[in-house]
Amino acid sequence: MQKKIKDFMTELVKKNPGETEFHQAVQEVVESVMPFIEKNPKYQEAKILDRIVEPERVIMFRVPWQDDKGEVQVNRGFRIEMNSALGPYKGGLRLHPSVYLGILKFLAFEQVFKNSLTTLPMGGGKGGSDFDPKGKSDNEVMRFCQSFMTELQRHIGPDTDVPAGDIGVGGREIGFMFGQYKRLRNEFTGVLTGKALSWGGSLIRSEATGYGCVYFAEEMLKTRGESFKGKVCAVSGSGNVAQYTVEKLFQLGAKPVTLSDSNGYIHDPDGISEQKLEFVMELKNVKRGRIKEYAAKYNCKYVEGRWPWEVKCDCVFPSATQNEIHESDAEQLVKNGCMLVAEGANMPTLPEAIKIFQQAKILYGPGKASNAGGVAISGLEMSQNSLRLSWSREEMDERLHDIMVKIHDTCVKYGKDGKHIDYVKGANLGGFVKVADAMLDQGLV
Ligand code: NDP
Ligand code: 2IT
């Protein structure tokens, strides 16, 4: 088995040189599904694994735009249309200077399994650009988004490919992109999700990833007869996912004590209350300031250039970016008595760190299961757009909760090993089987 996995990975690395994040994401899935494929020759004969790691289509394009000084800027745009076995390609757009093919392919690959887990009819995709929104004016962001969509529009559509937000893409960017799509195509359709409520958006979409992650974690805690009451929680990031993770944790009686950005983290031992969170939302979503300002306002500790994993806590919610929890962080977290990790971000934990969590038998929920609430509500935004109706906040929250419980059930079904639940295996296998079977049904495509 180990040799089969190694041979497969050697071939993949050779075929996709330099795409280290993509290699990492594939390795994890292959380790989970290879034993299953070995036992089921129909997947082997159809070369499902070789096909599933190859995007159906990769689009790369030039994005020229003019900055406020009138200078010409050129960025690179991407859309990875990874797999459409279960529905139209679906997944976010990331705007961050680190963006390149390897990052977007890892994200698109993960998205395929995540979307399958949601139970909704969505294929997987991801896109974005190496554009850095930090320090740009609203007008610069608008000109970039318009140029980006001028090319992207010819590849997407409500029944083809439906992008949404990710790092650096929130309500403002979705608005600019939607406006440009509508202008070029003369169509008001559900081509993007994460839209504002007055023009086709869904209630609970903003909250969905963070709330969903906490709902999933609550199910994990229940397997040990535990609840969030009084649990000290470390959260990283301070963007969309982190904000609503903190909100739900607070509502469920936990005490979220940290937030971070790319400069450092704050530690507020008194807990981040609803009122303090309002300050964070204004700071991050409107003023676009740094998290350091929280420490000044609420007189707590700010640690420059570090992640919050050194803070003693019961539960952690990595909600910033990939590879933010290293082996030494995992060791320290386990030593400090941490009992649960639920990933709001995509692939935030390095493989060596995952091993440490698994060996310590703490509850470890991988992103493709625990952060699937965002895309799940995106899927329901698509349904509402098709119906030209909108469902109530209560209904959306209930559906989100229900979907996260179902994803947890799937992880248990495929990942239960005696008393222990291997959520990595459960999520990978649970996501894989549906996609693989649909690929078999649809012939050699
Ligand atoms: P936002 O852009 O709203 O926030 C990102 C946050 O993470 C910011 O605080 C940012 O700090 C920090 N961050 C980003 N990159 C880095 C980095 N390289 N090093 C340190 N800090 C960093 O993004 P989201 O909250 O939407 O996304 C966060 C994570 O959740 C991502 O992994 C994303 O893929 C994942 N996710 C998002 C979903 C969604 O619906 N939005 C759904 C599922 C997963 P700074 O401002 O300094 O850059
Ligand atoms: O990683 C993710 O699941 C997202 N960024 C959300 C994708 C979506 O289409 O809502």
CA distance linking residue 38 with residue 169, whole number of Å = 40
**Are residue 238 and residue 353 in the same domain, yes or no?**
yes
Q: How remote is the CA of residue 133 from the centroid of ligand 2, in Å? A: 19
User: Is residue 29's pLDDT more than 90?
Assistant: yes
Instruction: Yes or no: say if 329 and 354 are a contact pair by the CB < 8 Å rule.
Output: no
Q: Is the pLDDT of residue 382 over 90?
A: yes
| Percent of the chain scoring above 70 in pLDDT | 100
On the question of pLDDT at 122 being above 90, the answer is: yes
Q: What is the pLDDT of residues 387-422, one digit of tens each?
A: 999 999 999 999 999 999 999 999 999 999 999 999
Residue 440 is assigned to a structural domain of this protein? no
- 176 and 64 in a common domain: yes
325 and 279 fall within a common domain: yes
Concatenate the DSSP letters of all residues of 118-145 into one string: TTSS--EEEEEES---TT--HHHHHHHH
**From ligand 1's centre to the CA of 199, what distance in Å?**
25
**pLDDT in the model for residue 174:** 98
Alpha carbon distances (Å) from 17 to 11, 12, 58, 92? 10, 8, 16, 24
- Tokens representing 119 are 């139970």
Q: What domain range includes position 17?
A: 2-52
Question: In angstroms, rounded to a whole number, what is the distance separating the alpha carbons of residues 134 and 177?
Answer: 18
- The amino acid at 396: M
Q: Specify the CATH number for the domain of residue 78.
A: 3.40.50.10860
The residue among 183, 117, 121 whose CA lies nearest residue 149 is 183
On the question of pLDDT at 111 being above 90, the answer is yes
| Ligand 1 contact, 262 CB (< 6 A) | yes
Residues 47 and 65 in one domain: no
CATH assignment of the domain containing 323? 3.40.50.720
Q: Which residues is 127 bridged to in the sheet?
A: 79, 93
198-220 mean pLDDT: 98
Which atom of ligand 1 has the smallest separation from the CA of 98? 18
Taking CA atoms only, the protein residue closest to ligand 2 atom 10 is 375
Whether residues 11 and 88 share a domain: the answer is: no
Residue 259 CA: nearest ligand 1 atom is: 9
Same domain membership, residue 225 and residue 169: no
Q: Is residue 92 part of a domain?
A: yes
Q: Kind and range of the H or E element at 90? A: strand 89-95
What percent of the chain has a predicted confidence (pLDDT) above 90? 99
Give CA–CA dist 80/98, Å, rounded. Answer: 16
Confidence of residue 1 (pLDDT cuts 50, 70, 90): confident
Same domain, 90 and 14: no
Ligand nearest to the CA of 370: 1
Please report which confidence band the pLDDT of residue 269 belongs to, taking 50, 70 and 90 as the band edges: very high
| DSSP line for 183-232 | HHH------SSS--GGGT--TTHHHHHHHHHHHHHHHHHHTTT--STT-E
Domain-embedded: residue 399: no
What pLDDT does residue 412 have? 98
pLDDT value, residue 169? 98
Q: How remote is the CA of residue 165 from the centroid of ligand 1, in Å?
A: 10
What DSSP element (H or E) covers 72? strand 72-83
- Is ligand 2 within 6 A of the CB of residue 346? yes
Burial class (CB in 10 A: 0-12, 13-18, 19+), 167: buried
Å from CA of 280 to ligand 1 middle: 15
Residue 353: predicted pLDDT:
98
Q: Residue 231 corresponds to which tokens in the numbers above?
A: 């649990």
Among candidate residues 141, 156, 188, the one where a domain is terminated: 188
Asked, for residue 284, whether it belongs to a domain, the answer is yes
Ligand 2 pocket residue status of 321, Cβ below 6 Å: no
Q: Is 195 in the pocket of ligand 2 (CB under 6 A)?
A: no
Ligand 2 pocket, mutate which of 21, 96, 111 (most atoms under 8 A from CB): 111
* Mean pLDDT value across the chain: 98
Q: Do the Cβ atoms of 43 and 436 come closer than 8 Å?
A: yes
Could you tell me if 274 and 345 lie in one domain? yes
Bridge partners (DSSP) of residue 377 are none
Q: Measured from the CB, is residue 168 less than 6 Å from ligand 1?
A: yes
Instruction: Indicate whether 25 belongs to any domain.
Output: yes
**Which of 305, 334, 361 is the endpoint of a domain?**
361
pTM value > 0.75: yes
**Average pLDDT over every residue of 19-28:** 98
Q: What is the pLDDT of residues 168-197, one digit of tens each?
A: 999 999 999 999 999 999 999 999 999 999
Contact 173 CB / ligand 1 (< 6 Å): no
Nearest 5°: phi and psi at 187? -140, 130
Largest separation between any pair of C-alpha atoms in the chain: 64
52, 73, 88 — which closes off a domain?
52
**Mean pLDDT of all residues in 313-327:** 98
CA distance 355 to 359: 6
Averaged pLDDT, 206-217: 98
Residue 212 sits in the same domain as residue 341: yes
Q: Is residue 401 part of a domain?
A: no
Structural domain tally of the chain?
3
3-class SS at 302? Answer: strand
Q: Is residue 15 part of a domain?
A: yes
- The answer to whether residues 73 and 156 belong to one domain is yes
**Residue 418, by phi and psi: left (phi above 0), alpha (psi -120 to 50) or beta?**
left
Residue 434 lies in a domain: no
pLDDT in tens, 235-252: 999 999 999 999 999 999
Q: For the chain, how many helices (H) and strands (E)?
A: 17, 15
**Quick one: 77 and 47 in the same domain?**
no
CB neighbour list of residue 166: distance below 8 Å, 6 or more residues apart? 91, 92, 93, 94, 107, 126, 128
Tell me if 108 CB under 6 Å of ligand 1: no
Same domain, 184 and 213: no
Q: Which of 105, 114, 126, 231 is catalytic?
A: 126
Q: Determine the atom of ligand 1 nearest the C-alpha atom of 284.
A: 46
| Ligand 1 proximity of 344 Cβ (cutoff 6 Å) | yes
- 231 belongs to the catalytic site: no
Average pLDDT over residues 310-331: 98
